[in-house]
């Protein structure tokens, strides 16, 4: 069974951003979240990544790196592995295979036993990740469902990630992605800011991802979203 099979909630920490004044990575780990993912779209460096990974890795919680470019990859026993984005609707093929090829070419320390991929479907055209990858975000529920099915059955992806970074997504679209999958885990990220938004999205996705909230509002707000995700999962199950 994969590490993420039982995850309801992930906190994604951006190494290029700070935590709320007075809060620590230990506080983040203690929110009840199931895992910490470390990554961001812009401003990523190995030094920034290492600082956060080292700080989070001290605590009893799974920590995964999600690198946005080869230069931000950190090799360390402080984290559990790597979750590598493959952007299904990218307009620039670099974010489907190109950046991945370059990472493999320049890095002779890749631990494949700890390296996994996430099939991203980027949905907010205003988000940095959409610009960065030149993603086509003009997709309806049928399009997203087809991308999800292709990810699982053509590309063998174990994680499909519907990403609305910066806005709360369309529940019909997230539900369509969920219905299209057989065994793959559905991650959802974007706009989750309180108990209700977390509970709503967790009714459709297997795992919700909270990012900006930890930097903007802090651990108490994150804790509310953890409870929302857990309550939704308990209801669905």
Say if residue 211 carries a ligand binding annotation: yes
Say if residue 162 carries a ligand binding annotation: yes
| Residue 15 exposure: Cα atoms within 13 Å on the Cβ side | 27
pTM for the model: 0.93
Mean pLDDT of 53-80: 86
Model confidence pLDDT, tens digit, residues 15-46:
889 999 999 999 999 999 999 999 876 777 77
* Predicted local distance difference test score (pLDDT) of residue 144: 98
Find the Cα–Cα–Cα–Cα dihedral 53, 58, 59, 64, rounded to 10°. Answer: 30
Say if residue 226 carries a ligand binding annotation: no
Q: pLDDT tier at 67 (50, 70, 90 boundaries)?
A: confident
* Predicted local distance difference test score (pLDDT) of residue 236: 63
Structure tokens at 180: 């299209």
Report how far residue 19's alpha carbon sits from residue 7's, in angstroms, rounded to the nearest whole number.
23
Report how far residue 236's alpha carbon sits from residue 118's, in angstroms, rounded to the nearest whole number.
24
Say if residue 12 carries a ligand binding annotation: yes
Percent of the chain having pLDDT more than 90? 70
Asked whether residue 237 carries a pLDDT value surpassing 70, the answer given is: no
**Nearest partner of 27 among 38, 19, 35, 17, judged by Cα:** 19
Say if residue 81 carries a ligand binding annotation: no
Rounded to the nearest integer, the mean pLDDT of the chain is 92
Asked whether residue 84 carries a pLDDT value surpassing 80, the answer given is: yes
Say if residue 212 carries a ligand binding annotation: yes
Asked whether residue 127 carries a pLDDT value surpassing 60, the answer given is: yes
| Residue 170 exposure: Cα atoms within 13 Å on the Cβ side | 14
Q: Tell me the DSSP string of 158-176.
A: SEEEEE-TTS---HHHHHH
Report how far residue 127's alpha carbon sits from residue 112's, in angstroms, rounded to the nearest whole number.
30
Asked whether residue 77 carries a pLDDT value surpassing 90, the answer given is: no
Asked whether residue 183 carries a pLDDT value surpassing 90, the answer given is: yes
Say if residue 163 carries a ligand binding annotation: yes
Report how far residue 74's alpha carbon sits from residue 70's, in angstroms, rounded to the nearest whole number.
9
Check: CB of residue 222 under 8 Å from CB of residue 195.
Answer: no
**Nearest partner of 6 among 62, 67, 47, 59, judged by Cα:** 62
Report how far residue 114's alpha carbon sits from residue 80's, in angstroms, rounded to the nearest whole number.
7
- What letters, b where the CB count within 10 A reaches 16 and e where it falls short, cover 136-162? eeebebeebbbbbbebbeeeebbbbbb
Q: pLDDT tier at 78 (50, 70, 90 boundaries)?
A: confident
Mean pLDDT of 157-179: 96
Report how far residue 96's alpha carbon sits from residue 120's, in angstroms, rounded to the nearest whole number.
10
Q: Sketch the domain layout of the chain as residue ranges.
A: 3-236
What one-character DSSP code corresponds to residue 187?
E
Bridge partners, 85 (sequence order)? 118
Topology of the domain comprising 3-236: TIM Barrel (3.20.20)
Say if residue 188 carries a ligand binding annotation: no
Say if residue 101 carries a ligand binding annotation: no
* Predicted local distance difference test score (pLDDT) of residue 188: 98
* Predicted local distance difference test score (pLDDT) of residue 70: 74
Q: pLDDT tier at 76 (50, 70, 90 boundaries)?
A: confident
Say if residue 165 carries a ligand binding annotation: yes
Structure tokens at 137: 């975000």
């Amino acid at each position: 069974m994969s590490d993420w099979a039982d995850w309801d909630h992930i906190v994604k920490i951006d190494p290029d951003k700070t935590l709320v004044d007075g809060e620590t990575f230990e506080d983040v780990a203690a929110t009840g979240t199931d895992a910490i993912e470390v990554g961001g779209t812009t401003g990523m460096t190995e030094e920034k990544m290492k600082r956060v990974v080292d700080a989070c890795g001290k605590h009893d919680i799974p920590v995964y790196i999600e690198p946005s470019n080869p230069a931000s990859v950190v090799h360390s026993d402080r984290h559990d592995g790597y979750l590598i984005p493959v952007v299904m609707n990218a307009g620039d093929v670099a974010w489907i295979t190109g950046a991945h090829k370059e990472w493999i070419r320049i890095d002779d320390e890749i631990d494949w036993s700890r390296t996994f991929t996430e099939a991203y479907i980027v949905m907010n055209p205003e988000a940095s990740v959409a610009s960065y990858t030149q993603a086509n975000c003009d997709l309806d529920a049928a399009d997203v469902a087809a991308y999800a099915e292709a990810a699982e059955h053509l590309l063998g992806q174990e994680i499909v990630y519907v990403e609305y970074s910066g806005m709360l997504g369309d529940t019909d679209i997230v539900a369509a992605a969920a219905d299209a999958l057989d065994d793959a885990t559905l991650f959802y990220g974007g706009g989750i800011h309180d108990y209700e938004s977390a509970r709503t999205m967790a009714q459709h996705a297997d795992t919700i991802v909270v990012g900006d909230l930890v930097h903007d509002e802090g651990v108490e707000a994150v804790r509310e979203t953890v409870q929302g995700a857990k309550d939704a999962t308990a209801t669905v199950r």
